[in-house]
Amino acid sequence: MKHRTGHLFKRGASFYVRWTVEGKVFSKALRDESGQPITARREAQEARAKLMAPFAVGSEAEALESIVGKLEGRKAEMVKLADQQNPPLPITQAWAEFLASPSRPDTGPQTLVIYEYQFARFAGWIKEKHPERTALRDVRREIAEEYATTLNHGAVTPNTYNKHLNVLTMVFRVLKDKAKLIDNPWESIQRKRLTPQGRRELTIDELKNVCQNATGELRTLFAVGVYTGLREGDCATLRWAEVDLHRGIIRRVPNKTARRNPKPVIVPLHSVLRDMLSGIPAESRGEYVLPQTADSYFNHRRTLVKAIQDHFTNCGIKVHKTGVAGRQQPVIEVGFHSLRHTFVSLCRESNAPLAVVESIVGHSNPAMTRHYTHVGELAAGRAVAALPSVMGDATPEPPKREAEALLREISAIAESLTGENWGEKKAALLALLKAGTGDGQTAPEAGN
């Protein structure tokens, strides 16, 4: 390092320093602050150190750069060796590894189909746009943002956009160790703000039109939806083992809550639906109440959805909402889920207790049930009685009144009885007692 620290030598009584830079030799006489030649070795060493200090700094920086370079080179060699022994996870194998991972969420088969489609869409895009990015760890944030941009700008709804990114986030999180990921490039991408676009209810005339013009399994499917309030998947895949015609109930664990809360809902069989199901010959009853519909739901979901939407359209019902600001895709306003909305609202309009409605439809909290509760076209208390006529093949049942509700009304009338209004109140009480429970039973006595 003498070419950087300098070499002392003496000529006569004075000290000199010699150094080399890029093959060239330089020398300089050492002098003190007064300009006099330095003759003492100790002073000469101090002067040499001061003179060569800039060269020493340069040497240190170069040394550090050399060390860093060697470390990076060594690191690259180690990474290359590790990749040879344990290759990084290719994007083409990522989905299979995700399915096989014990760390992935316990997702239902239908949901997995959607997840697979969304991941396959990303895999196809990166193969086309960035063929050099073959491993999962090659997907950096800039690539993730670029792909998210292709989903944006109205190409998909905000809800679909968020779900798509959430699926990719989940896959990368589950495969983080396997794919040797440093970070998850999808986590930092901002999700879209959602604007709820719920299905609207159907009027009674629309229900009649839709149900009476349906044929085959589609007619039964609509009947199940109208009279149970179950979701499309639960109606389409209803099993005979879940239908008790003798007891007059349907016992079903909703698909949506089956994994986190396998609690069944008990839905009373309406007389119209009970007659329809009883009319199916016993020898034709396999696993599913609607075998063709169940097959379409499991294997051709889009075909089933289109058939339902086409039926609404053929019945003159506008299924899409137009003129929604900021949306290129039309918003679905009417679909099979509209039957669920209508069922809940009609139940509430008939003064059914909120807890009863929650129990039937399987809502976990009153706030969700209230989301479905709107003011419809029928007067309170008459909605359920009008429902049977929507299928056009049964006589409506008179509305049944619960004994407890009847007692409350009788008690209220009795408490308001005075000497001036006793005639009017007596007539009201007699009318209630004569009506009974609506099915020929005598009303319970209010007391002795």
pTM for the predicted model, two decimal places:
0.52
CA distances from 82 to 92, 132, 133, 260, 375 (A): 20, 20, 19, 41, 67
Tokens of 18: 């010699």
d(CA 46, CA 310): 96
pLDDT of the chain, 448 residues: tens digit per residue: 445 677 899 999 999 999 887 778 888 899 998 889 999 999 999 998 888 877 766 666 665 665 566 566 665 565 555 455 557 899 999 999 999 999 998 887 878 888 999 999 999 999 999 999 999 999 999 999 999 999 876 567 788 899 999 999 999 999 999 998 989 999 999 998 876 556 788 888 888 899 999 999 999 999 999 888 899 999 999 999 999 998 888 899 988 877 777 888 888 888 888 899 999 999 999 999 999 999 999 998 889 999 999 999 999 998 877 654 445 556 778 889 998 888 888 777 766 656 566 666 665 555 554 554 443 323 223 333 444 456 765 444 444 445 556 676 677 777 777 777 777 777 767 666 655 544 444 334 333 3
Tokens of 21: 């830079």
d(CA 428, CA 414): 10
Q: Quickly list DSSP for 18-36.
A: EEEETTEEEEEE-B-TTSP
Q: Which residues pair with residue 14 across a beta bridge?
A: 11
Quick one: CA torsion of 430, 433, 438, 439, rounded to 10 degrees?
A: -130
